[in-house]
Chain A
Amino acid sequence: MRRFTWLAPTLYIIFLMLPIYWLLNMSFKTTNEILGTFTLWPQNFTLDNYRKIFTDPTWYNGYFNSIFYVAMNTAISVTAALPAAYAFSRYRFLGDKHLFFWLLTNRMAPPAVFALPFFQLYSAFGLFDTHIAVALAHCLFNIPLAVWILEGFMSGVPRELDETAYVDGYPFWRFFIKIFLPTIAAGIGVAAFFCFMFSWVELLLAKTLTSVAAKPIAATMTRTASTSGYELGLLAAAGCLTIIPGAFVIYFVRNYIAKGFALGRV
């Protein structure tokens, strides 16, 4: 019995990889081959789909836009969440528990509820179709998440560290930046990973808040599917390219993921 335990994860991973394999397979085919014949492997191997994406600015700008606002959102969320998480993990103050719960309820708000008011709000501030608009909008669910994760990591650091630094005469901000932040580096990595992840995969708000200048790649794909016929190969190639940044980021944090999840904070 024990000998066959590897079977379940293997089958599961095969199940996970099948659609991805099919997407990859499609991305190297010509439209004629996709519609005409059924093949498990591209017969007329072509890079045309990728060439189109790398040469057409409406396509490759989509990638830059997405990466740009995701990076901005991650930076804003983690920077704002750091002092707040410290306050929640170290101090008692008026309304702290209510505030913490209120922050978390924002993680439960369906984006569909906020789509229209967000459009009006950001238009009123003249921020419509800018990267910062999407980056700020994604703070709605990423800041509560970052505070939650970081608070977990910070509570694991003994308070004696703070007190020793204080006795040694460190001013607070120097202690916070020089000593405290390096101690919870793993936590910052995990928080940044999840902020990146949720900002990267979200589309509803990102699409609502942009039209041309900051249009995310995912929205560019939706347009292709609806207007210019059904260019499955091109769509598949664009899809494959959206998997790469995620895969890249997971690879770097692979040793921390388990730890972040172990805190049960995600």
Chain B
Amino acid sequence: MANKTENQKAWLFVLPVVLLVAFNALIPLMTVVNYSVQETFGDNVFFWEGVKWFEQVLNSERFHAALLRQFAFTGTILAIEIPLGIAIALTMPRKGPWVPVCLVLMALPLLIPWNVVGAMWNIFALPETGLLGKVINGMGIDYNFTQQPVAAWLTTVLMDVWHWTSLVVLLAYAGLCAIPDAYYQAAKIDGAGGWAVFRYIQLPKLKRVLTIAVLLRFMDSFMIYTEPFVLTGGGPGNTTTFLSIDLVKVALGQFDLGPAAAMSLIYFLIVLLVCWVFYTLMMRNEEA
């Protein structure tokens, strides 16, 4: 930061980006804010409602349930994907012909359109025609993700692990590759074992990339919509109706614009708040 020159003309460089993002972010956001404080009966007639919708959403059982499901899902996938990703990154080869093979194959799920991921898992897990469904049923466990809430939930978690663990692997792998050999040599001289090397060298060095991995996985899993929508449609019942799915149901299904807009803003604020708290905590740890 210190050696940057002060130059207000830099704003000209930033202008195209600001205009493009402002067009896409500010206008829609203002529309949402507008809806969130008004009531409409169609024909573009609006009535001022103040914070009524916010109170309604914050007090509704339905929102609480969706929020709880969302946190349970996000917590579960973080608890699985982060340790699994680190473990796989640790065991990946560092050099040799297998490195590009591993990277390309592992990155593949990241580049599949999200609804195709949902459709693929649907086909894969169907109890009668899918490989996974057939195998689980073959083991004598009654499994049908379209009807059993627990099975639907577990299938959604498994799908997310399949889809996104590679992101954690690639981030952690890049972080591991950036550790200089000297650190390992020093550890060897000190007679450090495998666990000590991991705990006192690799983990601290991975902190930065892991922060980013956790933040990204938190944000993206909190916004998850397409994959569970295609896989289960939010069902059976409401088992896999996460926040985004619920929001689209309210906004486009029932066309309750006011409550939907209020819900959008609360939703967005929760994401921002959690990211900010997490970021601040990580930064404080770094300074200490």
> Which residues of A are at the interface with B, using a C-beta cutoff of 8 A?
5-9, 12-13, 15-20, 22-23, 26, 34-35, 38, 40, 76, 80-81, 83-84, 86-88, 90-94, 96, 99, 103, 105-118, 120-121, 136-137, 139-140, 143-144, 147, 159, 197, 200-204, 217-218, 221-222, 225, 232, 235-236, 239, 242-243, 245-247, 249-251, 254-255, 257-262, 264-266
Contact B106 A12 (CB under 8 A): yes
B131: chain A residues at CB < 8 Å are 18, 22, 40
B248: chain A residues at CB < 8 Å are 112, 115
Distance in Å from the Cβ of A130 to the closest Cβ of chain B? 15
Contact A110 B244 (CB under 8 A): yes
Given that A17-B105, A38-B129 are known contacts, is A249 also in contact with B20, CB under 8 Å in the complex?
no
Q: Say yes or no: is B13 at the interface (Cβ < 8 Å to chain A).
A: yes
Distance in Å from the Cβ of B159 to the closest Cβ of chain A? 9
B243: chain A residues at CB < 8 Å are 110, 112
Measured in the bound complex, the distance between the Cα atoms of B20 and A91 in whole Å is: 21
Contact B116 A239 (CB under 8 A): yes
Measured in the bound complex, the distance between the Cα atoms of B106 and A15 in whole Å is: 10
Cross-interface CB contact of B111 among A34, A88, A117, A200, cutoff 8 Å: A200
Please tell me the number of chain B residues within 8 Å of chain A, measured between CB atoms. Answer: 94
> Which residues of B are at the interface with A, using a C-beta cutoff of 8 A?
1, 3-11, 13-14, 16-18, 20-21, 23-25, 27-29, 31-32, 87-88, 91-93, 100, 102-116, 119-121, 123-124, 128-132, 134, 162, 165-166, 169-171, 173-175, 177-178, 208-209, 212, 216, 219, 222-223, 225-226, 230, 243-245, 247-248, 251-252, 257, 260, 264-265, 267-268, 271-272, 275
Measured in the bound complex, the distance between the Cα atoms of B252 and A264 in whole Å is: 37
Contact A91 B4 (CB under 8 A): yes
Contact A117 B27 (CB under 8 A): yes
A232: chain B residues at CB < 8 Å are 123, 129
Q: A-B contact count, CB below 8 Å?
A: 271
Measured in the bound complex, the distance between the Cα atoms of B29 and A245 in whole Å is: 33
A247: chain B residues at CB < 8 Å are 104, 108, 111
A17: chain B residues at CB < 8 Å are 105
Contact A257 B107 (CB under 8 A): yes
Contact A84 B91 (CB under 8 A): no
Contact A144 B21 (CB under 8 A): yes
Contact B174 A264 (CB under 8 A): yes
Q: Which of A23, A118, A200, A202 has the most CB of B within 10 A?
A: A23
Cross-interface CB contact of B100 among A112, A116, A255, cutoff 8 Å: A255
